[in-house]
Structure 1
Amino acid sequence: MKTNLDLEPCLRQHSSHGVIRVVKLDELGVHSRTTYRRCQPGGPWTYLLPGIVLLSNSRPTARQRIEAALLHARGAGLLTGFEAARRFGLRNVPTGNEVHLLVPADCQFRSPGFVLIERTTHVPQRRDVGGVPTAPPARAILDGVRRLRDRDAVTALLIEARQSGLCSLAELSAELQTGSRRGTALPRAVLKSLADDLRSVAEAHAGKLWRRAGLPPPSRNPVLLHADGRYIATPDLWWDEVALAWEIDSFEHHFRRHDYAATLERNARYAGAGVILVQTVPSRLKRAPDAVINDLRAAYDIARTRPRPPLQTRRPPLV
């Protein structure tokens, strides 16, 4: 007769990443009393969800939590929200262990433990991401941000989704129109700002400051060229009437060795083209907003007192 130890390899073969149903264990010869005993504190197994066991006493991985949630939904669930966004490769995702699943509206599953079950009449076409049934990127991302109240967090994730090529503004906007309207006010406002080619959370804060400074509206991220068509730069914000550029240069993205050299070369091109440049690190936008406003006003006053250099701009293509 096989012992429980002898059964371990067989049990793992019938599990999903070490996650298995209690009823399946019973079918394989492990009585529920034995399962209960092995899941006690100090035992070799762990109860993850009602009727679902991890064949280990270690902390479950993200994939094991996902497998447990899918078993709970009995094959009817699609992974969505932030865990799906991580599996699509996004980094600006809020931390947490929640596994968010979409299920058809007629399903009656509850949301136990770390699982959030959302019933929907608009079940999207599934994507297979590393063996996990997953909602399409736009749906998954918006299902996550609908539950956020932090504008910066929403902005950072939507910008990353767009810039990574994972989904376009059009796809995100279309999903907002067809999906649930609950919690969509903030994502709608952020998407409206992204239509102006906003590229970072810092640029959003910068926009508030130039308004307070009383300056004319700048353009965002135009391609700046010499009169003969040679490339100069793509400033974060640009006042074309006076040839004033404002760059929001973070230490993370501009002061590594390679990026620092590129920033110096960019600044030299600005100087050679006669452009007045204001550089601000993102932390200063919040830490010293009045000082930043004074910098902008002073630079604008200087820029408008000298003849505008012969430059041209063109808009980059929107994605």
Structure 2
Amino acid sequence: MNHNTPLPQVPPASPRSVRRLPDVRRRVTTAAQLRVQGVAPAEANEQCRPGGPWQQILPGVYLLHPGPPTSEERLHAVLAYAGRDTSAPTGVPVQPGGGEPHRPVYEEAMITGLAALNLHGLASAPPLPSLEHIDVLVPRPRRLRSAGCAHVVRASTLPAPEQATGVPVAPVPRALADAVAQLTDAGVVRRLLSEAVRGGHCEPAAVVRELTEARLLSRPHVVDAVDSLIAEGRAITEERLYTMVREHGLPDPVWNVDLRLPGGPHLGGLDAYWPEHAVAVELDTRAPRQDEDALWSEYARKREHLERLGITVVYLTPRKLRDAMEQQAAVVRTALMASADRDPSAYVVVLPR
């Protein structure tokens, strides 16, 4: 073999061959991905001239057809603009037709706000085509500005993304906080929060935690919506507790009572109480605001006091009742059965709450 014979040159991919490649993120691609296909920046820009077959939808992000982008293409374009493509191959450009293009995996970016709520399936979130901007959550240190349809939202710590229709999205509580931060209509805020809880997407405590961290509870229309949310969330949790007792064959308790020592102090309210077993259930529906530690201390003091009197207290959270009702019923049943092996409790007065 003649080692002086020059190696054959692989021609760069033409715009036509790139367009024929299957599923380049729904025909949304970046300058970096085009370079991998052998398309130089100058050639890409030439294709984006007026009347050309491509368009630049965001800085460094191309739409490989001339028509308006679909909602899905806008979502992928925003992620391509804001995310870091950790799957990009290195080395020489691939040969046209030489195999599947790499499928980008974008990290450090996820859809949030109203677009994420829509993808999570909240009916009260506006349809994607009506959104002028799509919120995208990125780490705070990233040097990235909002541009075009991409509205950059920063977070000191990114939550673990969830997948909705194949797109990474912020969990519902975080998406709610990012949406509420831009909303001034009290009715819209109330409907979004209510649907998120009523639809089982999240618990009120998680929503309030995100709103607190976003410093949104100083806004009167948000506070009003949160108060309604907490009341509605508690009503939903109480209904789940009734369902648990009924469907899992537990004996009927007395509901929503106050306990007092005879002629003595008030011991606290309980959501359910079995006097003959000295077993109580209390729903932990605390809203985590700035006084969360103080509230928990109050819970702990009451529990300690009741247990010194021989009363077993079972705390149930809304999440446990929603996701593991059968397991929580078993916990209560075990406490009821164990009462026969305990010393009799102190006599207490049971009053309606």
Aligned: 1:149 with 2:149: no
**Amino acid of the structure 1 residue aligned with 2:165:** G
- Displacement of 1:3 in angstroms is 5.0
Q: In 1, Cα distance between the equivalents of 2:16 and 2:135?
A: 34
Counterpart check, 1:43 vs 2:77: no
> Which aligned segments of 4 or more residues in structure 1 are displaced greater than 6 angstroms?
none
**Does the 8 Å contact 1:62/1:97 carry over to 2?**
no
Q: Which residue of 2 aligns with 1:211?
A: none
Q: Are the aligned partners of 2:134 and 2:149 in contact in 1 as well (CA < 8 Å)?
A: yes
Offset, 1:65: 1.4
Q: Does 1:19 align with 2:28?
A: yes
Other-structure match for 1:8: 19
Aligned length: 203
Work out the CA distance in 1 between the residues paired with 2:65 and 2:217: 38
Superposition deviation, residue 129 in structure 1:
2.0
Residue 111 of structure 1 and its aligned partner are, at CA, apart by 0.9
Q: Distance in 2 between matches of 1:184 and 1:137?
A: 21
Alpha-carbon offset, residue 25 of structure 1: 1.4
Paired residue type of 2:174: R
3-state SS of the aligned residue for 1:173?
helix
Q: Which amino acid aligns with 2:193?
A: L
Residue 125, structure 1, aligned to residue 160, structure 2: yes
Equivalent residue number for residue 125 of structure 2 = 93
Question: Match of 1:28?
Answer: 37
1:170 positional shift = 2.2
Cα distance in structure 2, aligned partners of 1:64 and 1:117: 17
After superposition, where does 1:68-87 map in structure 2 within 5 Å?
68-73=77-82, 74=84, 75-87=107-119
TM-score (norm 2): 0.52
Unaligned runs of 5+ in 2: 1-10, 85-106, 240-317, 323-353
1:174 matched to 2:209: yes
Mapped to 2, the partners of 1:6 and 1:117 lie a distance apart of: 33
* Pairing 1:154-303 to 2, within 5 Å after superposition: 154-177=189-212, 179-182=213-216, 185=219, 186-197=221-232
Query: Amino acid of the residue matched to residue 201 of structure 2?
Result: L
Give the whole-Å Cα distance in 2 for the aligned partners of 1:24 and 1:6.
14
Deviations 1:242-299 (A, max 9, x none): xxxxxxxxxxxxxxxxxxxxxxxxxxxxxxxxxxxxxxxxxxxxxxxxxxxxxxxxxx
- Report if aligned partners of 2:110, 2:137 keep a CA contact under 8 Å in 1: yes
Does the 8 A contact of 2:15 with 2:44 survive in 1?
Answer: no
Shift of 1:193: 2.1
1:60 to 64, 69, 78: 69
Gapped regions of structure 1 (runs ≥ 5):
199-218, 224-316
Counting aligned pairs with the same residue, the percent is: 31
Cα pair 1:176 1:184 within 8 Å, conserved: no
Task: Encode CA deviations 1:155-189: one digit per residue, 9 max, x unaligned.
Answer: 12112212211122222122223x31157623232
1:195 Cα shift?
3.0
CA distance 1:194–1:8, change in 2 (3 Å)? closer
Q: What's 1:288 paired with?
A: none
Paired residues of 1:176 and 1:188 also in contact (CA < 8 A): no
- Residue 55 of structure 2 aligns with an amino acid whose one-letter code is T
Cα pair distance change 1:182/1:173, threshold 3 Å: closer
In 2: Cα distance, 1:108 partner to 1:180 partner: 21
Give the distance between the partners of 1:62 and 1:184, measured in 2 at CA: 34
| CA distance in 1: counterparts of 2:175 and 2:49, whole angstroms | 36
Query: In the alignment, is the contact (CA less than 8 A) between 2:14 and 2:38 conserved in 1?
Result: no
Query: Which letter maps to 1:66?
Result: L
Using the TM superposition, give the Cα deviation of residue 21 of structure 1 relative to its aligned residue in structure 2, in angstroms.
0.8
Tell me the distance in 1 between the aligned counterparts of 2:74 and 2:16. Answer: 24
What amino acid sits opposite 2:138 in the alignment?
A: V
1:41 is paired with a residue whose SS is: coil
Equivalent position of 1:116 in the other structure: 151
The 2-side partners of 1:182 and 1:120 are apart by 15
RMSD across aligned positions (CA)? 2.9
**Corresponding position of 1:106:** 141
Secondary structure of the residue aligned to 1:165 is coil
